[in-house]
A = this chain, B = another copy of it.
Amino acid sequence: MDAAEFRRRGKEMVDYVADYLENIEKRLVYPDVEPGYLRSLIPTEAPLEPESYEDVIKDVERVIMPGITHWHSPYFFAYFSAASSYPAMLADMLCGALGCIGFSWAASPACTELETVMLDWLGKMLQLPECFIAGTHGSGGGVIQGTASEATLMSLLAARCKAIRRVQATNSNYSESDVLGKLVAYTSEQAHSSVERAALIGGVMMKQVPADNSYAVRVDMLKKMMEEDKAAGLIPFYVRQHTNQNKACQGVDDLYMCVLQFCATLGTTPSCAFDRIVELGPLCNEENIWMHIDAAYAGSAFICPEFRPLLNGVEFADSFNFNPHKWLLVNFDCSAMWVKKRTDIIGAFKMEPLYLKHENQESVFESLVRADKRFEICAEVIMGLVCFRLKGSNELNQNLLKRITDSREIHLVPCQLSGRFVLRFAICARTTESSHIQQAWRHITQLTFELLQEPSH
């Protein structure tokens, strides 16, 4: 499909989408199909010849729609709301076209920077304490996760890393898994299953605190549970010694359970109950327990002054999360997560292979490189990736790459192979032609010529 056909089909799709949403009430909100219905409607294998767009698009009503639960029908009252709005859909169209994979600043600076600033905007809309706002100099800040489940897992892993480092700082003979086996996290019996699942993945124990008759956790219940666990020999007497953080876990002979985290819920899934974080927060802070707040559904409401008091106590939290993709007109996926200390999260996952670092083919390319005796190919070329370098020092190649990057005509990243600094040339865009590759090579050799001309060489 070329751009001309996309202009036509894209506009047809816009009308189809608007028709669908305007007439959604006419459809069965919950589908009338049995498991396995779809397989019987289509071939068992992909076709060998392409089909026309018209034929493919007919499958939407024939095959897909009969099995759709219409989440945006006004007759849908199940689970929780999933947000959807026309502006968000327009934004998604644009994102799809840009198609950046923004895993680092350099991978696409606008992605990282827009995310940071928008999470500051959103945090201010919720009147989060300033420590959660990145600004130009803050230690905290927000990121977009895919789901609240992921945010919960991230918070648990950050807390785990922190706890392990804290114990090892005074007890260097303990391995990570020694400490891991002694970590316990608490959450409400009403909490979402993803909290338990985070503990499962993170390899820590999780205990469920009973809720009161409004299905909320109060501080006396958490205290009681911790006291019982202490009496059972599981929790050390850090309650008395809370001024010394390291006493959260004692010496060699008495490495009891360390309380890792309390995951509070504001707006539980079964009944939208609210854990009493105004009381729970101070306890967690005293005991050096990471408090994460899962407000997946209810968080959007905190923008309203009449609901903001339900968020009081967030100032005690280490991390806070809610889902604009539930109730704030942003289509899935968009789960907003804030932390007081970005370094807690970053430090837990620190990896820095060379192809992620930055400062600031087709056999055609391989042939071009091989034909130029100043260069060498560094690895067998089997697919769309050519690893090459100037014969010479790592520094020479670093200089060459810097010139390539600074001139902004083409974009490459480096890697390390056998201790050598190597340039990677990957064939990427669908529209890359031979001419682009030839042009890229001309550009590289021009910069090489200029580089080698310089007095230092």
Say yes or no: is A331 at the interface (Cβ < 8 Å to chain B). Answer: yes
Task: Collect the chain B residues with CB atoms within 8 Å of residue A53's CB.
Answer: 87
Say yes or no: is A248 at the interface (Cβ < 8 Å to chain B). Answer: no
Task: Collect the chain B residues with CB atoms within 8 Å of residue A39's CB.
Answer: 113, 116-117, 136
Shortest distance from the beta carbon of A211 to any chain B beta carbon, whole Å: 9
How far is A192 from B432 in the complex, measured between Cα atoms in Å? Answer: 26
Does the CB pair B92–A71 fall under 8 Å? no
Task: Collect the chain B residues with CB atoms within 8 Å of residue A425's CB.
Answer: 77
Does the CB pair B109–A78 fall under 8 Å? no
Shortest distance from the beta carbon of A8 to any chain B beta carbon, whole Å: 9
Does the CB pair A11–B9 fall under 8 Å? no
Say yes or no: is A313 at the interface (Cβ < 8 Å to chain B). Answer: no
CB < 8 Å neighbour of A411 from B37, B76, B272, B382? B76
Given pairs A84-B97, A177-B203, 16 additional interface contacts (CB within 8 A): A1-B85, A2-B86, A10-B89, A10-B93, A17-B94, A36-B113, A42-B117, A71-B428, A76-B429, A77-B440, A80-B385, A177-B180, A178-B181, A180-B203, A181-B181, A272-B382
Task: Collect the chain B residues with CB atoms within 8 Å of residue A9's CB.
Answer: 86, 90
Which of under 10, 10 to 19, 20 to 34, or 35 or more describes the interface residues of A? 35 or more
Does the CB pair B196–A351 fall under 8 Å? yes
Does the CB pair A81–B428 fall under 8 Å? yes
Say yes or no: is A346 at the interface (Cβ < 8 Å to chain B). Answer: no
Task: Collect the chain B residues with CB atoms within 8 Å of residue A79's CB.
Answer: 101, 107, 355, 413, 426, 428
Does the CB pair B30–A6 fall under 8 Å? no
How far is A34 from B28 in the complex, measured between Cα atoms in Å? Answer: 52
Given contacts A9-B90, A67-B109, A81-B384, contact A72 B409 (CB under 8 A): no
Does the CB pair B69–A108 fall under 8 Å? yes
* 7 closest A-B pairs by CB: A177-B181, A67-B110, A10-B14, A271-B379, A270-B415, A38-B113, A81-B428
Say yes or no: is A231 at the interface (Cβ < 8 Å to chain B). Answer: no
Does the CB pair B81–A89 fall under 8 Å? no
Does the CB pair A77–B196 fall under 8 Å? no
Q: How many copies does the complex hold?
A: 2
Using an 8 Å CB-CB cutoff, how does the interface string of A32-68 with B read, 1 for contact, 0 for none?
1111111100101110000001000000100111111
Using an 8 Å CB-CB cutoff, how does the interface string of A114-141 with B read, 1 for contact, 0 for none?
1011001110110000000000100000
How far is A17 from B109 in the complex, measured between Cα atoms in Å? Answer: 20
How far is A2 from B354 in the complex, measured between Cα atoms in Å? Answer: 48
Shortest distance from the beta carbon of A176 to any chain B beta carbon, whole Å: 7
Does the CB pair B415–A271 fall under 8 Å? yes
Say yes or no: is A7 at the interface (Cβ < 8 Å to chain B). Answer: yes
How far is A430 from B94 in the complex, measured between Cα atoms in Å? Answer: 23
Given contacts A17-B93, A413-B78, A429-B74, contact A31 B270 (CB under 8 A): no
CB < 8 Å neighbour of A11 from B11, B297, B331, B408? B11
Interface segment among A18-26, A217-225, A286-294, A449-457: the answer is: A18-26
Does the CB pair B413–A379 fall under 8 Å? no
Does the CB pair B86–A6 fall under 8 Å? yes
Does the CB pair B30–A18 fall under 8 Å? no
